[in-house]
Amino acid sequence: MTALLPTLRRGGWVDRPVSDLFDRFFEDFGWPTRFTEERAWSPPLDISETENELILRLEVPGMDKKDININVSKEILTVTGEKKTEKEEDETYHCTERCYGSFSRSICLPSDVDTDKVDATFKEGVLTITLPRSEAAKPRHIEIKS
């Protein structure tokens, strides 16, 4: 029995705080937890493509475009932001399911994207990022010479 204890303590359930055990218990039933105030969140993302461009759409309802940053470095696009809490001090909350706090999404881009011509629009809580393909990557028709 003593040989088993170091294994349990090394990274098993013994090292976890009690609040983590309760949080996981309540999450299994879909109930909100009382032991964590703010959870990490990540906005849902859709990626699609056309012949000429790659299109990313992120759902960020309740955010303002000034709270979102978009950076492109080599072949990685990173979107960061923060959704501020809307809780009123004079109200008693019984359930909070909406997510607040900082987020960061990084997407590896294909090498045929022209990162100098990235465009972003924000409408009705959806951030749309358009990444055009480079001219060299676009399909071309080749004439056959005789």
Same domain, 78 and 131: yes
Residue 78: give the domain boundaries: 37-136
- Non-local (6+) Cβ contacts of 121 within 8 A are 127, 128, 130
Examine residue 144 and state whether it is found in any structural domain, yes or no.
no
In a domain, residue 21? The reply is yes
Cα pseudo-dihedral 104, 119, 114, 143, rounded to 10: 140
- The domain total for the chain is 2
DSSP conformation letters of 34-58: SS-S-------EEEEE-SSEEEEEE
Same domain, 80 and 18: no
Chain segment 9-24, per-residue pLDDT in tens: 444 444 455 555 555 6
pLDDT tens column, 66-101:
999 999 988 899 999 998 887 777 888 888 788 888
